Structure 1
Amino acid sequence: MQAFLKGPSSISTKPLSTKERGTTATAGGSGEGKRVRPIPWVEKYRPKCMDEVAFQEEVVAVLKKTLQGADLPNLLFYGPPGTGKTSTILAAARELYGPELFRQRVLELNASDERGIQVIREKVKRFAQLTVSGSRSDGKPCPPFKIIILDEADSMTSAAQAALRRTMERESKTTRFCLICNYISRIIEPITSRCSKFRFKPLSDKIQQQRLLDIAEKENVTLSSEAISYLVHASEGDLRKAITLLQSATRLTGGKEVTEKIVAEIAAIVPQEMLDGLLAACQSGSFEKLETVTKEADKCLADGSDEFLQLIGLCAVVMQQLS
């Protein structure tokens, strides 16, 4: 992600004149001279309210009705990556607490990095036991509970999930939990039975194209129609991936038109010629090493290896045989 961020400019040691000092002071006092820190487009265009969440009408409708009573059950969001799970709960929390109390009432943890039982016993339990106080400045009702968001909860160990279940029971009066995962089958039954489950659908091609066009217009990026179609194809329903690819392609072109070829280079998709060669090799059955390599790749996938890397390795063997 650091590739998107520009480093700080070098500080000049040349003394400023009286006029320059006055201009700088005026700009600093008015706030116009402050340098805006660039942020990734994924965060810049993340939905700030429930109405901005795309293509999840059923989930948004149910949550809106729940928020009207300033109450919320324990939640379990599951579905493919990049479909708005984290953005939805963050937008709901902002509507519940407002900008003033949001940071005090919401704890967000990535369970893939902090997935052990010690984290549940320390961070989660300590935050859940804190009492809530304060009211919203706009006069709207403020719920008497906090929200703990556990992203990628399907990476938590079984012991950590068991400890989380006990914490959910004990702190039900002061805390609500929102678990976010890709595979609901990896969450133990005692937790799923205590949560309202919401499935997030992969985004349609039309929705992705519209969001990409909106971002391109706001960022003054020229996009060809073929590039938009290729972005949607490469992302496979993952809007976050599509936005990241668009930003990477824009930085690569340096402000010029983003074409299909540029997007293909950024996405690093296996060329169709290589896939055709792999298919022909499988049909001919003339490669002695192919079956062995295929079994090894299948085992690596079962152990959790990256699909793209295994496909590249398999294609490399085919290319060696063809050469």
Structure 2
Amino acid sequence: MDVDMGGEAPAGLLPWVEKYRPSSLDQLVAHEDIIRMIERMMLKQTLPHMLLHGPPGTGKTSTIIALAKTMYKQRYKSMTLEMNASDARGIDVVREQIKTFVSVKQLFASAEGQPKLVILDEADNMTSAAQFALRRMIEQYASNCRFILICNYSSKIIPALQSRCTKLRFAPLSEEQILGRLHHIAKCEKIHLSEDGAKAIVEVGGGDMRKVINIFQTTSMGHQGNVDSKAVYASTGVPAPEEIQHFLRTLLNGSVSFAASLKSLKSMLNSKGYALDDFLQLMHKQLIVQDTLTPRQRLQLTVALSDIDWRLKQGCGDSIQLGAIIGVFQEARALGGA
């Protein structure tokens, strides 16, 4: 796939997430309804201010960059102001850089008659003062410019800005969409990607296309272009489903003592280098489909494991929480026997 690099680094030196970033609307692989709606508004020159929100890696930034490149072609750089609000998020940026860009009209109007674009990525990290300063600017320069706000959490955008924008939610990508992109990259890079390897990448990626492509590139480079499920789990440091299933059987086995279970889990985490919070997330995913547990046991385990996960994220020690995991399974087994 040809990608317009705009005179920057050669495509071979780029990470795959940039090398295979769509450069036009017809190269996007997901959210067809949103893409078609944006394309129709672009053709009718009725593009509104927009607020794109959703989980990371779902194509929000790629969609807007592809829109800008399709709309402006060679004039893309001069007609767009792209800023990451994580770095530039204060009121001074709104008053100086953004206002300077939107207040200056093009000397020669665009042949397509399209307005300028201000793309504010990670807009949920903008300060409240900057967001309040932006709301008046959106109305004042609407004839000359359109504002595109991109964020993960729309609740962090003040209501006054939300009401001025068309809200579009980008959901996580489906397995079929991700698999199609993976096979396309594998073909372009001449890499052998097995079916179980592709499914493992999708499983670890969790609907995040950016994460999926990074995992694919890392695994292919670490295993000489031969990507299977074993290589994926080895490269990412994520426990394989078979290991999680094996340990769940051990925890649910009433004949195994607390000490033996603790020693077995600690040995596996240390020998494989797994992170306890990753292990806990995957364990819960398999736990909710276990048919050997009663609804009451499943409910108790879900609440208890969520508490342990919260404590881990607050910085509590792994060794104590490791014992807590074994303990809640012992309690659940006793509940089932009651």
1:142 paired residue number: 113
| Contact 2:16 2:213 survives alignment (8 Å) | yes
| Separation of aligned partners in 2, 1:238 and 1:295 | 26
Q: Displacement of 1:57 after TM fit?
A: 1.2
2:279 paired residue number: none
1:254 paired residue number: 224
1:113 paired residue number: 87
| Paired residues for 1:1-323 under 5 Å | 37-99=12-74, 101-134=75-108, 141-143=112-114, 145-255=115-225, 257-270=226-239, 273=243, 276=247, 280=251, 298=310, 301=313, 314=318, 317-318=321-322
Q: Displacement of 1:134 after TM fit?
A: 2.9
Q: Deviations over 1:167-203 (max 9, x none)?
A: 2122222111000111111111000000011111211
Q: Displacement of 1:266 after TM fit?
A: 2.4
Which amino acid in structure 2 is aligned with residue 220 of structure 1? Answer: K
| Contact 2:179 2:202 survives alignment (8 Å) | yes
Which amino acid in structure 2 is aligned with residue 265 of structure 1? Answer: A
Q: Displacement of 1:298 after TM fit?
A: 2.4
1:6 paired residue number: none
| Separation of aligned partners in 1, 2:16 and 2:217 | 7
| Separation of aligned partners in 2, 1:98 and 1:315 | 56
| Contact 2:305 2:325 survives alignment (8 Å) | no
| Contact 2:48 2:146 survives alignment (8 Å) | yes
Q: Displacement of 1:147 after TM fit?
A: 0.5
| Contact 1:297 1:314 survives alignment (8 Å) | no
Which amino acid in structure 2 is aligned with residue 127 of structure 1? Answer: F
| Separation of aligned partners in 2, 1:38 and 1:188 | 40
Count of matched residue positions in the alignment of Structure 1 and Structure 2: 271
| Separation of aligned partners in 2, 1:202 and 1:233 | 12
Q: Displacement of 1:231 after TM fit?
A: 0.3
Instruction: Report the secondary structure of 1:178's partner residue.
Output: strand
Q: Displacement of 1:166 after TM fit?
A: 2.1
Instruction: Report the secondary structure of 2:193's partner residue.
Output: coil
Instruction: Report the secondary structure of 1:249's partner residue.
Output: helix
Give TM-score scaled by structure 2 length: 0.71
CA spacing shift, 1:36–1:274, aligned 2, 3 Å: closer
Which amino acid in structure 2 is aligned with residue 238 of structure 1? Answer: D
Q: Displacement of 1:38 after TM fit?
A: 1.1
| Contact 1:132 1:174 survives alignment (8 Å) | no
| Separation of aligned partners in 2, 1:61 and 1:49 | 13
CA spacing shift, 1:180–1:298, aligned 2, 3 Å: same
Instruction: Report the secondary structure of 1:231's partner residue.
Output: helix
2:291 paired residue number: none
| Contact 1:131 1:174 survives alignment (8 Å) | yes
Unmatched 5+ stretches in structure 1? 1-33
Instruction: Report the secondary structure of 1:59's partner residue.
Output: helix
CA spacing shift, 1:233–1:316, aligned 2, 3 Å: farther
Cα RMSD over matched residues?
3.3
CA spacing shift, 1:296–1:164, aligned 2, 3 Å: farther
Which amino acid in structure 2 is aligned with residue 185 of structure 1? Answer: S
| Separation of aligned partners in 2, 1:193 and 1:109 | 22
Unmatched 5+ stretches in structure 2? 1-8, 260-302, 327-338
Q: Displacement of 1:135 after TM fit?
A: 5.1
| Contact 1:294 1:314 survives alignment (8 Å) | no
| Separation of aligned partners in 2, 1:226 and 1:271 | 12
